[in-house]
Amino acid sequence: MVSPEPNGSGEFSFGGKSDRTMDGMGEVVRMPTVLIVDDSLTDRRLICDLLRRQSDWKIEQAASGMEALARLQHAKPDVLVTDLQMPEMDGLELLSAIQRHHFDLPVILITAYGSEALAAEALKRGAASYVPKTQVAFKLLDTMEEVLARARAGRIQQHLLQCLARVEFTFFLENDPTLIDPLIDLVQQMVTAVNLCGFNGRLQIGVALKEALRNALLHGNLEIGSLMKLRSWDKLFQDKDYSLIEERRHQPPYCHRKIFVDVRITADEARFIVRDEGPGFDVSTIPRRDDPWATDWEGGRGLALMRSFMDEVTFNAKGNEVYMVKRREQNGNGARSSPSSSS
């Protein structure tokens, strides 16, 4: 394992990289930190080298779950990325330990082929997201940034709108990918305001809603097929290049289509309807919820995230509308748990 070097504050950094930088106004900005946990030195180095080339994140490492927990006692990163399958303490056990210690820390799992069922279980237990090992090169960094953005959005403005008991709003979105994040930020603020759930619940709602909106945009309104969709995802994740979507969304008939989004939030549950104006799909092809190979289905990762993070996920007969419900969790006595218990 690469040896950490202590800095002046008693924290440990790798590669001698500072966790501070200057923004365009000359202000000091703290760079986000990620802790990579993997028992394989080779895989750990590959991931760290990849992230160093792609980003300015401060990167730290741990060779085991126990080492990761020891590091968290002294300094908490912004995001933790862990391999799912490790000896002694695997990714699921590390996730559980982090939750037992009440760390408000988003955890992303890296999964090998054949571990889809374990990944689904981890999502149910509170993992923020997962990335298949074969897709780390073009999905990991973007997933980290998305999860970090969702976590930060859930933490800010938590004391606003404390008297709010119910909120309902409806949007007719253009096929503009830049509208998705602001809408999710709004939803997370409203979820926080009514105290529906804690940190993990807010994170899960944001991830599931984003998958539904992306599906409505790419697969629904723009009718981007599986190959074009993969190409589009590559550009979005790697380059933030929306040129393919921009070209498509200005052509008829796609330019006339909207994404209908209806949101209803109370202290007991949040209900979401996302509907596109595309041709839909054959809903009979959707794999069963308990099918461990569900992620092999086109759009399977997104469906797995929605099903894991929401209590209900159903599609209409045409296949162009998804209905999702997130309820407040119940404790062992069958009573509604307080929001702090799920954070």
CB 140 within 8 A of CB 38: no
pLDDT recorded at residue 334: 44
Q: From the CB of residue 256, how many other CB atoms can be counted at a distance below 10 Å?
A: 9
pLDDT recorded at residue 246: 85
**Is 115 inside a domain boundary?**
yes
C-alpha dihedral sign at 144, 150, 152, 155 = negative
Across 78-93, b (16+ Cβ under 10 Å) vs e yields bbbbbbbbbeebbbbe
Q: How far apart are CA 231 and CA 311, in angstroms?
A: 31
3-state SS of 92-129? HHHHHHHHHCCCCCCEEEEECCCCHHHHHHHHHHCCCE
Number of structural domains (the chain) is: 2
Q: From the CB of residue 230, how many other CB atoms can be counted at a distance below 10 Å?
A: 13
191 and 275 share one domain: yes
- pTM given for the model: 0.64
Q: How far apart are CA 340 and CA 343, in angstroms?
A: 5
The token duo for 66 is 């126990």
182 and 329 share one domain: yes
Q: Which residues, in sequence order, are CB contacts of 40 under 8 Å at separation 6+?
A: 83
The 10s digit of each residue's pLDDT in 97-142 is 998 887 789 999 998 876 777 888 888 888 999 999 888 998 999 9
| Domain final residue, candidates 122, 152, 182 | 152
191 and 268 share one domain: yes
96 and 47 share one domain: yes
Cis before 253? omega within 30: yes
Q: Which residues, in sequence order, are CB contacts of 263 under 8 Å at separation 6+?
A: 167, 168, 169, 170, 187, 190, 270, 271, 272
pLDDT recorded at residue 79: 95
**Is 158 inside a domain boundary?**
no
| Domain final residue, candidates 131, 152, 173 | 152
pLDDT tens for the chain, 343 residues: list them.
Answer: 333 444 433 333 444 445 555 544 455 567 899 999 999 999 999 999 999 999 999 999 999 999 999 999 988 899 999 999 899 899 999 999 998 887 789 999 998 876 777 888 888 888 999 999 888 998 999 999 989 988 877 665 555 566 788 999 999 999 998 899 999 999 998 998 888 988 889 999 999 999 999 999 988 999 886 545 555 555 565 556 677 788 888 999 999 999 999 999 999 999 999 999 999 988 888 877 665 445 554 556 788 889 989 999 999 999 999 999 999 876 544 445 554 433 3
Instruction: Specify the CATH number for the domain of residue 51.
Output: 3.40.50.2300
Instruction: Specify the CATH number for the domain of residue 225.
Output: 3.30.565.10
Q: What is the domain range of residue 128?
A: 5-152
167 and 148 share one domain: no
**Is 320 inside a domain boundary?**
yes
Q: How does DSSP assign 292-320, residue by residue? A: TTGGGSTTHHHHHHHHHH-SEEEE-TTSS
Of 80, 95, 102, 116, nearest to 305 by C-alpha is 116
170 and 311 share one domain: yes
90 and 178 share one domain: no
230 and 116 share one domain: no
60 and 177 share one domain: no
Q: 3-state DSSP call for residue 46?
A: helix
120 and 177 share one domain: no
**Is 285 inside a domain boundary?**
yes
**Is 157 inside a domain boundary?**
no
43 and 115 share one domain: yes
Q: Which amino acid is at 86?
A: M
| Domain final residue, candidates 94, 124, 152 | 152
Task: Estimate the crossing angle of helix 199-214 against helix 180-193, to 10 degrees.
Answer: 150
115 and 170 share one domain: no
pLDDT recorded at residue 256: 94
C-alpha dihedral sign at 328, 329, 333, 334 = positive
